[in-house]
């Protein structure tokens, strides 16, 4: 059996864990909203039509922020359609996902849900078919206390207190030819800068996200970020990054190594942003908001194949992935990458929350259950606290068709000095062989193993379903132990593991 060794020391730190990294995403796509978080008449629904079973699972998942209302949906969305008396709201066609939007759920309903879920909203605005005026109107409606036409309208609609939204996305994927109102980097950069400046005249302390490339494979990647930031550098706080990964055929080796691509993506966006900052002779640092990421089987997003409907319908079943055990391992690895870049990735949103490419699934009128990918997210959100440690990994490599030679072990660790807890998260990327693993705790003066969990299964296609909602869950890690100040474990093939240790406090 091959062996991997991790060197860990509390003196070597990347950055504090930013809780915004554990964000999610609610878009008016498929059944994420309707029969997802919102289903009046459901047995668990409250007086606002919000599903209580879903709220319970969202809290358990540990989500800290939620990006809303899109996504591609936002680039054709008129926010005014989703406020005021529901009976007066217009029904519209949504060309992004080829659906009928009733607007029964909108901004004020989302903010009510956010308060109940205990999450921070991350609001996206339409810079596709609309512009600066509509953006500042939305800001005034949402955040101004009262005394103006728009703020008084919100009060009249029942939201007497301002929503106080602090984080705003200046459009969505504006580089994409699929996007309503697609723009060149120059066009978008100017519009985003003008909109950001106008918003800051209302509130200088807002946190604003400029659109980066919609994927690392876009032909304009890098050049897009540079041009956009040349316009917006002084008026935004974040540049966004989006990435989705999937298994192609039976190439499990490349799929299990896909976080290598996310690593490179972050490094290149940061390098581009810092280059622009140097050119502008600015001491400011732009952070990365990785506000769309997940496993998503995009090639299946075709009419009649569980993808976009052929006819205009309400809340169709779109991209309702039945996530497998290997998908869960990959999600765990992507979380490791996000944490490893804690010095610059300070916000992230897993897309999406319910039903559509989701951690949570529901049936109309029926149950809600956890998908396989729910578990690595929930465990990481619960235990990754304090600071991210700068690890040194000594591991054999694996040859992959897509990414070349990659380390067999993917790892990150966090240290909470106040509680004396260390959490170590590791993935064995080998698709068929176990890997022995060790890390010495001498830098902490030893440690006691408190919890050890593993996600792995001989059946790589195993998934949770309505009839078998606990087919894929974390199990106690067999044989994991601390021996003479060293954490030891055997990692199954294609597995995600978490070890929580109690170490001496200063």
Helix (H, G, I), strand (E, B) or coil at 21: helix
Are 449 and 499 spatial neighbours (Cβ–Cβ below 8 Å)? yes
Task: For residues 223 and 272, give the distance between their C-alpha atoms in angstroms, rounded to a whole number.
Answer: 8
pTM over 0.75: yes
Task: For residues 494 and 506, give the distance between their C-alpha atoms in angstroms, rounded to a whole number.
Answer: 37
Task: For residues 264 and 427, give the distance between their C-alpha atoms in angstroms, rounded to a whole number.
Answer: 18
Contacts for 188-194: CB closer than 8 Å, 24+ residues apart: 188/127, 188/228, 189/227, 189/228, 189/229, 189/230, 189/231, 189/232, 190/231, 191/127, 191/131, 191/132, 192/127, 192/228, 192/231, 192/232, 192/236, 193/231, 193/232, 193/235, 194/132
- pLDDT confidence of 5, banded at 50, 70, 90? very high
Active-site residue identified among 225, 292, 321, 490: 292
Asked if 87 is an active-site residue, the reply is no
- pLDDT confidence of 303, banded at 50, 70, 90? very low
Would you kindly state where each structural domain of the chain is located, as residue ranges? 2-10+388-502, 21-301+348-383
Q: Any idea which residue has 């036409």 for tokens?
A: 149
- pLDDT confidence of 506, banded at 50, 70, 90? low
- pLDDT confidence of 309, banded at 50, 70, 90? confident
The residues pairing with 291 across neighbouring beta strands, listed in sequence order, are none
Q: What is the DSSP letter of 87?
A: G
Q: How many CB atoms lie within 10 A of CB 268?
A: 16
Q: What are phi and psi of 66, to 5 degrees?
A: -135, 125
Q: What is the pLDDT of residue 307?
A: 63
Q: Any idea which residue has 């949103």 for tokens?
A: 349
Asked if 292 is an active-site residue, the reply is yes
User: What count of Cα atoms within 13 Å lies in the side-chain half-sphere of residue 450?
Assistant: 13
> Encoding tokens for residue 196?
């950001």
Task: For residues 314 and 344, give the distance between their C-alpha atoms in angstroms, rounded to a whole number.
Answer: 39
Helix (H, G, I), strand (E, B) or coil at 299: helix
| Mean pLDDT estimate for the chain | 96
> Encoding tokens for residue 473?
């869950």
> Encoding tokens for residue 350?
């897993």
**Secondary structure in 3-state letters for 51-77:** EHHHHHHHHHHCCCEEEECCCHHHHHC
Mean pLDDT of 75-104: 97
Mean pLDDT of 60-71: 98
Task: For residues 165 and 122, give the distance between their C-alpha atoms in angstroms, rounded to a whole number.
Answer: 7
Q: What is the pLDDT of residue 412?
A: 98
Active-site residue identified among 134, 173, 321, 490: 173
Task: For residues 239 and 288, give the distance between their C-alpha atoms in angstroms, rounded to a whole number.
Answer: 5
Mean pLDDT of 43-49: 98
In 3D space, the residue among 5, 3, 7, 13 whose CA is nearest the CA of residue 442 turns out to be 7
pLDDT digits (tens, 9 = 90+) for 163-210: 999 999 999 999 999 999 999 999 999 999 999 999 999 999 999 999
Rg (CA), the chain: 23
Label the pairing between strands 495-502 and 421-428.
antiparallel
Are 354 and 56 spatial neighbours (Cβ–Cβ below 8 Å)? no
Mean pLDDT of 42-58: 98
pLDDT digits (tens, 9 = 90+) for 384-436: 999 999 999 999 999 999 999 999 999 999 999 999 999 999 999 999 999 99
Q: 2-10+388-502 architecture in CATH?
A: Sandwich (2.60)
- Does 241 score more than 90 pLDDT? yes
Contacts of 303 (CB under 8 A, 6+ apart): 309, 310
- pLDDT confidence of 304, banded at 50, 70, 90? very low
Task: For residues 71 and 27, give the distance between their C-alpha atoms in angstroms, rounded to a whole number.
Answer: 6
21-301+348-383 and 2-10+388-502 share a CATH fold: no
pLDDT digits (tens, 9 = 90+) for 344-390: 999 999 999 999 999 999 999 999 999 999 999 999 999 999 999 99
Helical (H) or strand (E) element with 348: strand 345-351
> Encoding tokens for residue 143?
């955040």
CATH of domain 21-301+348-383: 3.20.20.80
Q: What is the pLDDT of residue 298?
A: 85
> Encoding tokens for residue 3?
């062996």
Task: For residues 304 and 294, give the distance between their C-alpha atoms in angstroms, rounded to a whole number.
Answer: 23
Q: What are phi and psi of 244, to 5 degrees?
A: -130, 145
- pLDDT confidence of 302, banded at 50, 70, 90? low
What single string gives the DSSP state of each residue in 309-347?
-SS-BSS---S----BHHHHHHHHHHHHHHHHTTTTEEE
């Amino acid at each position: 059996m091959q062996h991997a060794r991790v060197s860990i020391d509390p003196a070597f730190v990347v950055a504090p864990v930013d809780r915004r990294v554990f964000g999610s995403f609610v878009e008016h796509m498929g059944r994420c909203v309707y029969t997802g978080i919102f289903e009046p008449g459901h047995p668990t629904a409250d007086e606002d039509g919000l599903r209580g079973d879903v709220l319970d699972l969202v809290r358990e998942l540990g989500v800290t922020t939620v990006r809303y209302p899109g996504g591609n949906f936002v680039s054709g969305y008129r926010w005014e359609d989703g406020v005021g008396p529901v009976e007066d709201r217009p029904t519209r066609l949504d060309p992004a996902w080829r659906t009928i939007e009733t607007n029964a759920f909108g901004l004020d309903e989302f903010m009510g849900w956010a308060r109940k879920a205990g999450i921070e909203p991350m609001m996206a605005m339409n810079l596709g078919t609309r512009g600066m005026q509509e953006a500042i109107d939305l800001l005034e409606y949402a955040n101004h206390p009262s005394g103006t036409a728009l703020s008084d309208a919100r009060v009249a609609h029942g939201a007497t207190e301002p929503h106080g939204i602090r984080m705003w996305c200046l459009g969505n994927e504006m580089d994409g030819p699929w996007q309503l109102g697609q723009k060149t980097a120059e066009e978008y950069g100017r519009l985003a800068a003008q909109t950001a400046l106008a918003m800051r005249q209302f509130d200088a302390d807002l946190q604003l996200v400029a659109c980066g490339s919609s994927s690392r494979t876009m032909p304009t990647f890098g050049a897009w970020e540079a041009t956009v930031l040349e316009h917006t550098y002084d008026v935004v706080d974040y540049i966004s990054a989006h990435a989705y990964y999937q298994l192609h055929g039976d190439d499990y080796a490349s799929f299990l190594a896909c976080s290598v691509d996310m690593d490179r993506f972050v490094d290149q966006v940061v390098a581009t942003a810092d280059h622009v900052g140097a050119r502008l002779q600015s001491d400011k640092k732009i952070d990365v908001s990785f506000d769309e990421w997940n496993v998503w089987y995009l090639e299946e997003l075709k009419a009649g194949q569980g993808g976009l409907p052929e006819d205009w319908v309400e809340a169709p079943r779109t991209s309702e992935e039945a996530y497998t055990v290997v998908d869960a391992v990959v999600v765990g690895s992507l979380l490791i990458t996000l944490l490893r870049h804690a010095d610059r990735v300070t916000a992230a949103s897993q897309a999406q929350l319910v039903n559509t490419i989701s951690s949570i699934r529901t049936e109309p009128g029926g149950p809600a259950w956890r998908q396989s990918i729910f578990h690595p997210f929930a465990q990481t959100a619960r235990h990754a606290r304090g600071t991210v440690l700068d690890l040194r990994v000594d591991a054999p490599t694996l040859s992959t068709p897509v990414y070349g030679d990659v380390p067999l072990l993917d790892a990150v660790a966090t240290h909470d000095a106040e509680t004396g807890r260390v959490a170590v998260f590791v993935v064995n990327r080998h698709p068929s062989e176990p890997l022995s693993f060790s890390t010495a705790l001498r830098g902490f003066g030893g440690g006691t193993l408190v919890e050890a969990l593993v996600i792995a299964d001989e059946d790589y296609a195993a998934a949770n379903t309505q009839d078998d909602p606990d087919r894929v869950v974390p199990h106690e890690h067999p044989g994991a132990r601390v021996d003479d100040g060293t954490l030891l474990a055997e990692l199954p093939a294609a597995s995600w593991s978490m070890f929580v240790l109690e170490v001496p406090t200063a």
